[in-house]
Amino acid sequence: MKRNLSALKKALQFGISGAVGGFVGNLITEPFMQRVPGSESFFDSAFFDSAFFDSAFFDSAFFDSAFFDSVLSTARWFGLVGGGIATAIMFGYYYYIKGKPQIKQALKNGGLFGLIAGAISGAIAEGIYSGIGDGNNELLRVICWGIAGSLLGLGLAQRIPNLGALRGMGGGGVGGVLGGCLFILFAYNLSGTAGRLAGCAAIGFWIGIMLVVAETLFNKAWLVISYDTGANRTLTLGSEPITFGSDENLSIICIPNVSPLAMRFQLEAGQIVCENVDSGAVSYLRSGDQKKIGNCTITVGNSDLPAPTPTNLPPTFISDRPAVNSFTSGQFSLKLGSRVIPLSAGTQLFTSDIPSLTAAASNGLVAIVTSRSTRNELSLGLTNLCDRAWWVTDIQGDIKMVEPESTLTLALGTQIEFGELEGEIV
């Protein structure tokens, strides 16, 4: 649910940003545009002022003047529109992940590349439309808008981490088709300038929306970042690391009062890898696993390995092994939700006790209580026998990782994250 709500917010933010970018991009071009009688373009027959874009230096023996002017004009027009859309979507992306405007970064990563990607995509789409169209084929016009949108989406995929080329092209293509339909509708029902402004806003809106839809529907793994304030953000995992820390230059997600680069998540060979940069510890995560860092909780999602739900959890098993070696029977217990499991020296915990864990051995054993005697005192520890690390928060609020085959000394109030299940020593 958190992921869906966060994705909806992200889609609307990208869509509105794209709409503003398309509107502003076209607004910049309007002073140089005029309608050329007898000419048809896939973007509503509007061409740039020939005095501003003079193409007379091209030899007509090699180029058809009308065709080349059409392609050149559309390339320049959609270059500016594409630059506006790309810059605005990057602005929306940075605002989404950082919670504050990043105008300089948006211009740096969206402006020039958007201009180039928009010009190339516009030229290709116009070349197809002018080359095989008769000027009245609205279906072909919509298809060409889809081509322009897909190429612009491909360009954005190089700037948005882990969006991916296929998702970028698919989302941009569908957005271009949907926006192109509205563009044509506005062109027929509004004046030339108003129609183009509304149409470009629609193109940007639907490209922004569909990029997020494609990313959400077809990603394999993701992170849901839940802040203590109640805000949530969703980021796609992939080959490019998602980094957390207090330094904006080193971290994609900035968390105050932690190390400059504290934690790194990445998808490697189908495995979700988490690296604690401070300690150098690496753990492999599954759907539902959580990590706590600073003021946020990071929940891992994986479409190929859904988290267990209360309806499919195995029945609870509480070990009845006696505490023969402990100095006090039942000194510690592990509380898991409404269940309380007594812990004493020799107590074994299986996957039926903690279903979110997977045993490293075939016997299903995920943890065992061990004892150690020092200076006539007996201390109990919980040894990790599963295939992943645990995150532990002690009563003072300090967080540490318990790697497989490592032992946690038991103390009252200690909280242990076993993937999507959280336990407490009571």
Mean of pLDDT values over 370-376: 64
Of the pLDDT bands very low, low, confident and very high (cuts 50, 70, 90), residue 172 is very high
Distance between CA atoms of 370 and 383, rounded to whole angstroms? 7
Give long-range contacts, CB 8 A cutoff, 24+ apart: 168-174: 168/211, 168/214, 170/210, 170/214, 170/218, 171/207, 171/210, 171/211, 171/212, 171/213, 171/214, 171/215, 172/207, 172/210, 172/211, 173/146, 173/147, 173/149, 174/146, 174/149, 174/206, 174/210, 174/213, 174/214
Average pLDDT along the chain = 79
Of the pLDDT bands very low, low, confident and very high (cuts 50, 70, 90), residue 198 is very high
Per residue in 263-294, pLDDT (tens digit) is: 999 988 778 888 888 777 777 787 788 888 88
383 burial type by CB count under 10 A (0-12 exposed, 13-18 middle, 19+ buried) = middle
SS3 237: coil
| Confidence at residue 377, expressed as pLDDT on a 0 to 100 scale | 60
Beta strands 253-254; 242-245: pairing state: parallel
| Confidence at residue 135, expressed as pLDDT on a 0 to 100 scale | 58
Distance between CA atoms of 251 and 98, rounded to whole angstroms? 10
Helix (H), strand (E) at residue 300: strand 296-302
Distance between CA atoms of 399 and 234, rounded to whole angstroms? 24
Per residue in 104-146, pLDDT (tens digit) is: 888 888 888 788 888 888 888 878 877 776 656 778 878 888 8
Q: In the beta sheet, which residues pair with residue 155?
A: none
Cα 259 from chain centroid (whole Å): 23
| Token representation of residue 389 | 């690390």
SS3 325: coil
Mean of pLDDT values over 145-174: 89
| Confidence at residue 91, expressed as pLDDT on a 0 to 100 scale | 93
- Give residues with Cβ within 8 angstroms of 55, minimum separation 6: 65, 68, 69, 72
Residue type at position 126: E
Per residue in 359-368, pLDDT (tens digit) is: 888 888 899 8
311 burial type by CB count under 10 A (0-12 exposed, 13-18 middle, 19+ buried) = exposed
Per residue in 232-259, pLDDT (tens digit) is: 888 999 888 999 999 888 888 989 888 8
Cβ-contact 168, 156 below 8 angstroms: yes
- Other Cβ atoms less than 10 A from the Cβ of 193: the count is 13
